[in-house]
Structure 1
Amino acid sequence: MRHSGRPDPGRYPYLDHRVVAGRARSPIGFSHRGFAPEGDENTMAAFQRAVELGFRYLEIDVRASSDGQVMVFHDEDLARVTDGTGPIADRTAAELSALRVGGGGGVPTLAEVLLRWPGLRLNIDVKSDDCVRPFAELVNRLAAHDRVLVASFSDRRRRRVLRLLDRPTASSAGMMVNALVKLSAPLGLAAPIARGAGVQALQVPERHRGIRVVTPAFVARCHAAGVQVHVWTINERRDMDRLLDLGVDGLVSDAADVLATCLRERSAWTGAQPGQEP
């Protein structure tokens, strides 16, 4: 029997996005690092823009400061997007908040984001080992398990986070599990591998090193195994339409305005109305 592609919403409500137009499921639109046309990615201003567009889901990254705070930031080094230099891990949370990201505000803490927008769901890439414990402790303290999906390119790091969380929390596969599912899906082994890895979603590029990852057969096999497929980072409208026609469960985009328009025009928007906070 074909699985709906939706993990048990009682156990993982993060992935229980609302039904639209009578469909069994509707795709998730993820705003990648917020909406940051001004270069201020992963900032409160970028998140506010995404919220104003109606997004209920953001994809963000976290690392730890030198004093153990969970900071929303992608790179290991500060130089690319801030007016500072050196490793983020060498600065305190107070020092990081005083920097300018892309000409905007400073580096926010994850706690600030969770508390500012209690209706947002966050797809969180845990980028560093020193962030594992403080991240898990923060999610436990704020009881944010249903609002976050734990992601990491490192399956080892992702598993460490999940072991420290005190309630079931949605998770997407790292590079190794993604590859295993891709290779084993034609053999009917996607479901046991996903269950063993503790993942409910695969978050993948459409292509990797010249190999097409997202195909109709791949999407169908993942759905049969009860695993969602989210594709990153899709910024062109024609690519959004093509992937949604394949039946993918979510798209991650830097072009949040284009993605919102695409989903609305397809009657597949599950976010808030523009200007309304989730």
Structure 2
Amino acid sequence: MAAFEHAVHLGYRCIETDVRATRDRVPVIFHDESMDRLTDHTGPFAVRDWAQLDDVRIDGREPIVRLDDLLGAWPDLRLIIDPKSDDVVTPLIEALRRANARHRVCIGSFSTRRLRWFRTDGPGCTSCGPTEVVRLRAESWGVPAGKLDADCAQVPPRQPLLGKLSVPVVDAAFLRAAHARGMPVQVWTVDDEAEMERLLDLGVDGIMSDRVTALKKVFERRGLWR
């Protein structure tokens, strides 16, 4: 919870995070499928109940956070949530209903199936899935994309290919195509200040970064921090 407290203290009103589900269907804030890399324990979340995570610490310090606790801590905080697996979709939907929080959450995912499940559940913000991003990119080159069910595009600045090769995703043409549809473009994950400046010059609508203090300073220098 300390990372969220830090961001909120800085003044952020929208935060991106990832969720996974425990064996007893408790949605928790965590990126990896396994606890090995980031905690003092090992093994996947999916084989443990919530009560069995009580002594798990991230970097040896911070406890695992339940989504319910995050939603309750700051009732006005907007969230971008990436459901990292199929088994967390229903627990996530249920948590949002309990907190009456669907209106302040946008769902982003690499999984077209998960995005479709959320769209079927009812009104609420979802980002473009991978196929929709490709179609929007093609539309920026003059190929009509047809109907897109997404409310925004959350994309990297560039898409890696083989080896060190990559192709740009976010450029002036992509922004024009998205904005013509009334679709904000939010870019991840940008930690370099010069790249933040470049993207803001292009006209992106949001930036996701692990360096939240640096990002705030960039916005302040440009008179964008409110």
Q: Give TM-score scaled by structure 2 length.
A: 0.94
Between the aligned partners of 2:180 and 2:137, the Cα distance in structure 1 is 13
Amino acid at match of 2:36: A
- Provide the rounded CA distance (Å) in 2 between the counterparts of 1:204 and 1:89: 28
SS of structure 2 residue aligned to 1:162: helix
Aligned residues: 221
> How far did 1:141 drift?
2.1
Residue 60 of structure 1 pairs with residue 17 of structure 2: yes
Choose the corresponding residue for 1:247, options 195, 203, 217: 203
Pick from 117, 124, 139: which aligns with 1:169? 124
Q: CA deviation at 1:97?
A: 3.6
- Among candidates 194, 204, 208, match of residue 159 of structure 2: 208
User: Helix, strand or coil: the match of 1:125?
Assistant: strand
Shift of 1:188: 5.8
Counterpart residue number, 1:148: 105
Which sits farther off after the overlay, 91-100 or 53-62?
91-100
Partner of 1:193: 147
Q: What amino acid sits opposite 2:119 in the alignment?
A: L
- Choose which of 118, 133, 138 in structure 2 pairs with 1:183: 138
Paired residues of 2:102 and 2:124 also in contact (CA < 8 A): yes
What amino acid is the match of 1:75? Answer: D
User: Is the 1:77–1:87 Cα contact (8 Å) retained in structure 2?
Assistant: yes
| Structure 1 counterpart of 2:179 | 223
Closer, same or farther: CA 56–97 of 1 in aligned 2, 3 Å? farther
Taking the aligned partners of 2:48 and 2:222, their CA distance within structure 1 comes to 45
Unaligned runs of 5+ in 1: 1-43, 271-278
5+ residue gaps, structure 2, are: 161-165
Task: State percent identity of aligned pairs.
Answer: 41
Contact 1:180 1:193 in 2 (8 A): no
Is the CA contact 1:60–1:122 (under 8 Å) kept in the aligned structure 2? yes
- Equivalence for 2:190: 234
Query: Residue deviations 1:212-244, cap 9 Å, x none?
Result: 111111111110111111111111111111100
CA distance in 2: counterparts of 1:267 and 1:97, whole angstroms: 43
- Residues 1-278 of structure 1 mapped to structure 2, 5 A cutoff: 44-165=1-122, 168-187=123-142, 189-190=144-145, 192-194=146-148, 198-209=149-160, 210-270=166-226
Greater Cα shift, 168-177 or 61-70? 168-177
Partner SS, residue 89 of structure 1: helix
Identify which range, 138-147 or 82-91, moves more after superposition.
138-147
Q: Secondary structure at the match of 1:77?
A: coil
Tell me the TM-score normalised to structure 1 length.
Answer: 0.77
Kindly indicate whether structure 1 or structure 2 has the higher relative contact order, using CA contacts under 8 Å at least 6 residues apart.
1
Task: Tell me how far apart the structure 2 counterparts of residues 94 and 184 of structure 1 sit (CA, whole Å).
Answer: 48
Q: Kindly report structure 1 stretches of 4+ aligned residues shifted beyond 6 Å.
A: none
Shift of residue 105 of structure 1? Answer: 1.9
